[in-house]
Amino acid sequence: MHVRPNFSTPAFLDRPSSSNYLVKKGDNLSTIARRHGMSLQQLVAMNPQLEGRNLDLIYPGEELNLTGANIPAPDKKEVQQGPQKSGGMGFGGLAGMLGKKMPPLQETEGFKNLPSALQGRVETLAQGHRGGYVRSLIGSKNFQTLSDEAKAKALDVQEAVPQQSLHSFGKLFAGEEGQAKIFDKDQKDNTLLDNLHGLSQKPLAGEFAKNGVSRADLLGDVVRETENPGASIAQHDRGTCTVTSLQYNLARRNPAEYARLMTGLSSPKGEVEMANGDTLKRDAGSEAPDSATKRSNSSRVFQSAMMEYANGDLFYDNKVDSHSRSDTGAVVAEAEEGERTGSGLYDYEYDRANAALFGESKLYQGKGSDMFEHLEGVKPGEAVVALKWSENGDKHKYHAVSFEKIEDGRIYFRNPWGKNHMAPGTQREPPPRLVEDGWQGLESMSLEDMGSRIEAVSLSKPKTDWLDAFTSVDGFKAKFFG
């Protein structure tokens, strides 16, 4: 008999960190700036999307950046007189505060470079609360390199994205010319912009609206997850650490592919072809919000679909986070030989999912520090590491994390529990580990501690990078759960 892997789930905390802040009801820019030890001038300089906006209009759920380079020093008058109220600031007040005159939209280079057919549309968009975001978008060098057709697509998405995701959508255009995430391509040679546009325009499965989930909800989730997967992707209270780590790896390494899969899963048919040629199907019932309230709508849909795919002939029920032998919901109480139970996945099952998402994978099973040789030269997002996470009486709990790097006697990884409020250097246990970047869910563990806990490594790398021959996941059997 196989004992079910009891994958750990977090006591999840989701609070603002020192690098980003989500606006809450009753906030204004002056109080946010004061609370984080900066001037209003500095806060605005860190958030170019505020340029050209009425500063009275900030919205709950809107994300503000709280770090930045070359931030101007606070104005002496402002320091002496204390924080200014943002009320009544308006467009002109913002320009005056920054010591420059805000040019009319029509006089900006971004507007002048637009085809005439799009100029009227931009003028309309700029009149509302999206004004600053529109200015920032059309002024970015990567937007200006787009074809007229692609510019129109970008404006379609910008108009459809919910308020709290506008900042993230603008950041997808950041970077050296032609190197921004928005240009990333999927397995079908379509860009991230193409796929976000598809999600914003193509037919959506009616089950989402029936359960109170809008197109804007899904689009906003995918925008945030592709722009900043570390701060946006989490398993919350589900035993989906394996597929959540794979979701993070995919959104980080190939955001266009992640957006393509989500577009297919959200469609009326609810199916999409993966990199290995297999079909991924939306899991029935995953359209509806559940108790995992810190998990996004798109994460719920993606993780449920991957659990259903990876478990083979069993049926996964997201509502109860468990597998059954039939779609009637009869939970597997006692496993037959080679069969998994409860929530979570066996090593060969999540390796199957890894191969499906990236084309092929390789699974290494074993214990001790010798396992580290399989991580030599592996880049962030190319491996999932399974380890013993904690003791619960005489039964081990297991967890799967995304590998980042090995450095200075420590192994760094991304915990699929997601972001938290903890400061860098905070010690956590079990197991003994350090928080490296709470906002990204990044942690580290000593090689000694990891060596005593590691059980398996699933790599997703090009076959040409492997020293030994690739072996199909069909040939693997569970070891450490046996």
Convert the pLDDT of each residue in 261-293 to its tens digit: 999 999 999 999 999 999 999 999 999 999 988
User: Is residue 463 in a domain?
Assistant: no
pLDDT for 324-366, tens place per residue? 876 655 555 555 554 555 789 999 999 999 999 999 999 999 9
Measure the CA–CA gap between 122 and 114, rounded to whole angstroms: 9
> Which tokens in the block code for residue 289?
């919000």
User: Is residue 139 in a domain?
Assistant: no
pLDDT confidence bin for 464, thresholds 50/70/90: very low
10 Å Cβ neighbour count for 86? Answer: 24
Mean per-residue pLDDT over the chain, rounded = 83
**124 in helix, strand or coil?**
helix
Q: What is the pLDDT of residue 197?
A: 98
pLDDT for 169-189, tens place per residue? 999 999 888 899 999 999 999
Q: What is the pLDDT of residue 56?
A: 64
CA distances from 334 to 7, 323, 325, 341, 464 (A): 17, 12, 11, 7, 41
- Phi then psi dihedrals of residue 293, to 5 deg: -70, -15
pLDDT confidence bin for 248, thresholds 50/70/90: very high
Q: What is the pLDDT of residue 330?
A: 53
CA distances from 390 to 63, 241, 398, 446, 452 (A): 35, 14, 7, 16, 12
- Phi then psi dihedrals of residue 341, to 5 deg: -135, 175
Measure the CA–CA gap between 26 and 17, rounded to whole angstroms: 19
Q: CB of 287 within 8 A of CB of 208?
A: yes
- Does position 5 have pLDDT exceeding 50, yes or no? no
Mean pLDDT (whole number) for 446-468 = 78
Mean pLDDT (whole number) for 223-249 = 96
User: Is residue 2 in a domain?
Assistant: yes
Q: What is the pLDDT of residue 343?
A: 82
Lowest mean pLDDT among 6-10, 77-81, 373-377: 77-81
Lowest mean pLDDT among 128-132, 210-214, 296-300, 356-360: 128-132
E strand spans, 174-307: 271-273, 279-281
> What is the torsion angle, in degrees rounded to the nearest 10, for the CA atoms of residue 170, residue 423, residue 34 and residue 136?
-10
- Does position 411 have pLDDT exceeding 70, yes or no? yes
Could you tell me which residue, 106 or 13, shows the higher pLDDT? Answer: 106
Question: What does DSSP assign to residue 18?
Answer: S
Q: What is the pLDDT of residue 397?
A: 84
**435 in helix, strand or coil?**
strand
| Selection from 231, 215, 234, 233 nearest residue 162 by Cα | 215
pLDDT confidence bin for 83, thresholds 50/70/90: very low
213-216 long-range contacts (CB < 8 A, ≥24 apart) are: 213/287, 213/288, 213/289, 213/297, 215/160, 216/160, 216/161, 216/162
Domain count, the chain: 1
Measure the CA–CA gap between 164 and 22, rounded to whole angstroms: 8
Could you tell me which residue, 131 or 186, shows the higher pLDDT? Answer: 186
Q: Counting Cβ atoms within 10 Å, is residue 159 exposed (0-12), middle (13-18) or buried (19+)?
A: middle
Measure the CA–CA gap between 75 and 15, rounded to whole angstroms: 30
Could you tell me which residue, 124 or 85, shows the higher pLDDT? Answer: 124
Q: CB of 432 within 8 A of CB of 444?
A: no
| Selection from 145, 140, 150 nearest residue 118 by Cα | 150
Q: What is the pLDDT of residue 367?
A: 93
Q: CB of 443 within 8 A of CB of 412?
A: yes
92-99 long-range contacts (CB < 8 A, ≥24 apart) are: 93/55, 94/44, 94/50, 94/51, 94/52, 94/53, 94/55, 97/40, 97/41, 97/44, 98/41, 98/44, 98/45, 98/72
Domain, as residue range, for 3: 1-102
- Residue 286's identity, in one-letter code, is S
User: Is residue 60 in a domain?
Assistant: yes
| Selection from 418, 414, 416, 437 nearest residue 426 by Cα | 437
Mean pLDDT (whole number) for 319-325 = 86
CATH number of the domain bearing residue 25: 3.10.350.10
Q: What is the pLDDT of residue 35?
A: 84
> Which tokens in the block code for residue 69?
């380079």
Q: Counting Cβ atoms within 10 Å, is residue 134 exposed (0-12), middle (13-18) or buried (19+)?
A: buried
DSSP strand pairing (410-414 vs 442-446): antiparallel
Q: What is the pLDDT of residue 127?
A: 87
- R_g of the chain, CA atoms, integer Å: 24
Mean pLDDT (whole number) for 404-415 = 97
Measure the CA–CA gap between 101 and 94, rounded to whole angstroms: 9
Question: What does DSSP assign to residue 60?
Answer: T
Q: What is the pLDDT of residue 329?
A: 52
pLDDT confidence bin for 145, thresholds 50/70/90: very high
- Does position 78 have pLDDT exceeding 50, yes or no? no
Q: What is the pLDDT of residue 463?
A: 37
CA torsion sign for 348, 351, 357, 358 is negative
User: Is residue 273 in a domain?
Assistant: no
User: Is residue 16 in a domain?
Assistant: yes
pLDDT confidence bin for 24, thresholds 50/70/90: confident
User: Is residue 95 in a domain?
Assistant: yes
Mean pLDDT (whole number) for 10-17 = 34
Q: CB of 166 within 8 A of CB of 186?
A: no
Question: What does DSSP assign to residue 185?
Answer: B
User: Is residue 118 in a domain?
Assistant: no
| Selection from 134, 183, 142, 180 nearest residue 161 by Cα | 134
Q: What is the pLDDT of residue 53?
A: 62
